[in-house]
Amino acid sequence: MGSLISVGLGIIVFGLGIGIGNIGKSALDAMARQPEIASEIRTALLISAAFIEGAGMFAIVIAFLTAN
């Protein structure tokens, strides 16, 4: 059970990495194209990253709860 949870946590972080990486990539592209609205893009980047992270956090917390 414990090792299965570890594998699950790995998969969660894999998904989170892809998601947040994609946001960072698009944000960088957009900032390079339009540096004058970089601060707005940064806010949008942080908000969407926070949402994705929130979904991941749910999974991680549930994993911890089932581990005990």
Q: Does 54 bind other proteins (CB under 8 A)?
A: yes
User: In the bound complex, what is the minimum distance in angstroms from residue 63's beta carbon to other proteins?
Assistant: 11
Is 58 a binding residue for other proteins by CB under 8 A? The answer is yes
Judged by CB under 8 A, the number of residues near other proteins is 11
Assess 50 for contact with other proteins (CB under 8 A).
Answer: yes
> From its phi and psi, is residue 59 left (phi > 0), alpha (psi between -120 and 50) or beta?
alpha
- What span, in angstroms and rounded, lies between the C-alpha atoms of 17 and 23? 10
CB of 31 to other proteins, least distance (A): 17
| Of 9, 58, 48, 57, residue with least CA distance to 25 | 48
